[in-house]
Structure 1
Amino acid sequence: MITNISITSVFVKDIDASKAFYLDVLGFEEHTDITLADGSYRWCTVKHPNQPELQVHLTLPGPPYSPEMVTAINREMDAGGVFGIGLRVDDCRKTYDELRAKGVEFIHTPEERPYGVEAVARDNSGNWMVLVESREFSAADFD
């Protein structure tokens, strides 16, 4: 039986820079950072202090993906078109202001949606980060 989601992966351009972004800018905490003895692979995860059971794996595109797929993933990250992570926030407009002050790039400013207030930013690798201040909704709210 599946009991929960424990890990999700986000492709990044530079693990050290992304780790710093998630810790210093977003307020996550380090979970694991291990490099194999031969230096061939690095396992780096961060977690949010309010949800420590969910790790975000920061990883470079590479094997087992084909070289063509790695090139495509990097090209899409460069274009800023890869979805990274969704983040629940308690006040979207305030969080938007705080993150902009830290230099975070936003694609969409906070806007009212039927499900709450939403803003879309990019992490330091170009991945989308959707910030949502949720509220109760029903299907009728989308009419």
Structure 2
Amino acid sequence: MNIALQYCHITVNDPDESLAFYRDALGLEARNDVASGGFRWVTLASPTQPDLEIVLSEPHAGRSQADGDAMQALLTKGVLPNIVFSTDDVDGAFERVRSSGAEVLQEPIDQPWGPRDCAFRDPSGNMVRIQQAAKA
């Protein structure tokens, strides 16, 4: 039996604003843009991992009012789980994302546990980290 991760969900306030960040600043490819019940689900993928898609959706999309309100509160507080991307050029990735106007949380540094990484906030306040494996 084979098993693989297919979707990773990121809750966002504005799919258009977030699409610009994940597509234009990070370089992901837009795959699907589906509207249903007044909400949108946008999927993106990296050309290097075409079978793994990131789904951007609003807090109330596909959820009850109470659950959507709870998700919105967590998103507003900035405490939803972060997402970590890997790259072979963290400094280049940092410059590309910074030039998009994204909020910088951490410039590239060598971490004591190995990778070189940096961090940003996406337009909704989610923490996005980008790391490069330590050189052997």
- TM-score by length of structure 1 reads 0.81
Tell me the secondary structure at the aligned position of residue 82 of structure 1.
coil
Q: Distance in 1 between matches of 2:131 and 2:79?
A: 19
Asked if 1:23 is matched to 2:23, the reply is: yes
Cα deviation for residue 51 of structure 1 reads 1.1
Cα deviation for residue 65 of structure 1 reads 4.1
Q: Distance in 1 between matches of 2:115 and 2:20?
A: 29
Kindly name which structure, 1 or 2, has the bigger radius of gyration based on alpha carbons. 1
Tell me the secondary structure at the aligned position of residue 10 of structure 2.
strand
Q: Distance in 2 between matches of 1:34 and 1:73?
A: 20
CA contact (8 A) 1:82 1:126 kept: no
Structure 2 unpaired stretches of 5+: none
Cα deviation for residue 66 of structure 1 reads 4.6
Cα deviation for residue 55 of structure 1 reads 0.6
Cα deviation for residue 33 of structure 1 reads 1.0
Structure 1 unpaired stretches of 5+: 138-143
What stretches of structure 1 move > 6 A for 4+ residues in a row? none
Tell me the secondary structure at the aligned position of residue 83 of structure 1.
coil
Asked if 1:14 is matched to 2:28, the reply is: no
From 85, 88, 100, the equivalent of 2:83 is 85
Residues 106, 34 of structure 1: CA spacing in aligned structure 2 closer, same or farther, 3 A cutoff? Answer: same
From 94, 97, 100, the equivalent of 2:98 is 100
Asked if 1:47 is matched to 2:45, the reply is: yes
**CA deviations over 1:61-118 (Å, ceiling 9, x no partner):** 1265454443332233223332342100212223212211221112122221122101
Asked if 1:72 is matched to 2:70, the reply is: yes
RMSD: 2.2
- TM-score by length of structure 2 reads 0.84
Give the structure 2 partner of residue 135 of structure 1.
134
Cα deviation for residue 5 of structure 1 reads 0.6
Q: Distance in 1 between matches of 2:123 and 2:131?
A: 19
